[in-house]
Homo-oligomer: A and B are copies of this chain.
Amino acid sequence: MKKAVVILSGGMDSSLCAYIAKNKGYEVITLHFNYDQKTQKRELKAFYDISKKIQAIKQIELNLDFFKNMSGLSLIDKKTAVQTTGIEEGIPNTYVPYRNGIFLSIAGAIAEQEDAEAIYIGVVEEDSSGYPDCREEFIDSIAQTINLGTKPQTKIKIITPLVTLKKEDIVKKAMEYQVPLELTWSCYQNSLKACGVCDSCRLRLKGFSKAGQKDQIDYL
């Protein structure tokens, strides 16, 4: 059976990706990164909950704690607050340098090692504008780079099923695929009740609202 590595943070987008991969007939290896982000433990729980639901054949949890030595990153640095004033033009302070580039490079090594033919990543170009490593142009470039830098017989596709979707479409599609959204976690700053005001919560709530659905997780 063909295999895929799914980069799974435990949020709505990556969880939907995992369900899509499974639905396409892949055996799924789920891959999660701990990088000392403020909501690390809560995300990890979501990762294992979703991995179990889709019957992942392997669950890989990796520690990349070097990001914590980078100051001024609001997702990590305890002295820097997560932006809560709404989405603005430009690169948000929740940007972590080249995060998806590093995640995909490691996923590439794992895919080669596990004989997986695809990597799924839940990047969304429009809603997350401002993150340079979420753009389709970047994904195409890194796919080419990974194939150049691995064995000649290794051919890995990077699949981004959500890249052109809006959050409301993601909520609708997640309903369609019966993704247990109540198990997913999106908030950037809290782990018990979602804050409702960080960019990630705002996008999630807007998505549910526009899709005419109610989010079942607890908010402050």
Contact = CB atoms under 8 A, between A and B. Distances in A.
A108 interface: yes
Contacts of A100: 149
A21 to B, nearest CB: 21
A148 interface: yes
Which residue, of A106, A110, A135, has the highest number of chain B Cβ atoms within 10 A? A106
A137 interface: yes
Nearest to A67: B109
A133 interface: yes
Interface of A is mostly: helix
A100, A112, A135, A146 — most chain B CB neighbours (10 Å): A146
A89 B128 CA distance: 46
A163 B60 CA distance: 35
Contact of A108 (B98, B110, B137): B98
Q: How large is the interface on A (under 10, 10 to 19, 20 to 34, 35 or more residues)?
A: 35 or more
Given A144-B141, A145-B138, A148-B138, A109 B102 contact: yes
Given A98-B150, A133-B150, A150-B98, A106 B145 contact: no
Contact of A149 (B138, B146, B148): B138
Contacts of A99: 109
Interface of A: 60, 62-63, 65-67, 69-70, 91, 95-102, 105-106, 108-110, 112-113, 132-133, 135, 137-138, 141-142, 144-146, 148-152
12 contacts: A60-B69, A63-B66, A97-B112, A98-B108, A98-B109, A100-B149, A101-B108, A101-B109, A105-B105, A141-B144, A141-B149, A142-B149
